[in-house]
Amino acid sequence: MAEHRQLQRAALLDAARSLLTEGGMDALTFPSLAARTGLARSSVYEYFRSRAAVVEALCEVDFPLWAAEIEAGMDGCDRAADRIEAYVRGQLALAGDPRHRAVVAISALELDEAARERIRAAHGRLVGLVVQALDDLGHDRPRLAAALLQGVVEAAVKRCERSAASGSGEGPQEIADAAVALALHGLGPRTTTTGGARGSNPGTDGRPSDSSAPDSTAPGGPPSDRPAPGCPEAVA
């Protein structure tokens, strides 16, 4: 009996992934889940109490896979600035992959605090990947900087979604370039490089070559005299 329920639950999660891929959150309904799995609608409620519960369950499964892919991309970089760029670009690439719609979908849902806490725990590994890179760059509060950097990533993901829906002409590459530039240089102009991470100009120690101290406009650096841009709440 327990094995049967486990198989049914897995089938529901697979159906949810397909629905999210095909139509986003609007397509994820209990009648659709029931139709995809051959269950009665009332039976779906035996496994999940709400759409939020479905997405939460998907995130518990998919977040570790997401983090593993990001980690693999960062492991291939020697310099701290390159690891940060890989972190940003990797997440944006995964966000555009239909297989990871569930991870992206959490920002569209109102979750209760217990659900948010469980997702924060799962998300902690992802944010933890960039903490060391930020520390290597000289940030005095790398964990705070990592949380703010994640806000930049989430804002870029939403921008990609809006651009695709409206046909505004901003492509994923352009948005990714802007997000990397913001992560590495704050609101200053993006510099070109002769090597290393795109949109960065790191010195031999991985820090921006035009500064021997943390950049005042970069996430986690000393306060700047210009107002900071707003960003969505990070789940980390």
Q: The domain that contains 33 carries what CATH number?
A: 1.10.10.60
Let me know whether 43 and 75 are in one domain: no
pLDDT for 24 beyond 80: no
Domain presence at residue 179: yes
pLDDT in tens, 201-232: 444 344 444 433 334 333 333 333 333 333 23
Residues 6+ apart with CB under 8 A from 229: 187
Let me know whether 35 and 71 are in one domain: no
Domain presence at residue 55: no
pLDDT in tens, 141-182: 999 999 899 889 989 988 988 888 788 778 889 999 999 999
Domain interval for residue 14: 1-48
Let me know whether 116 and 186 are in one domain: yes
Domain termination residue (choose one: 10, 26, 48): 48
Rounded to two decimals, what is the model's pTM? 0.65
* Number of structural domains found in the chain: 2
pLDDT at 207: 43
Let me know whether 10 and 115 are in one domain: no
**To which H or E segment does residue 33 belong?**
helix 30-37
Let me know whether 21 and 119 are in one domain: no
Domain presence at residue 35: yes
Let me know whether 181 and 141 are in one domain: yes
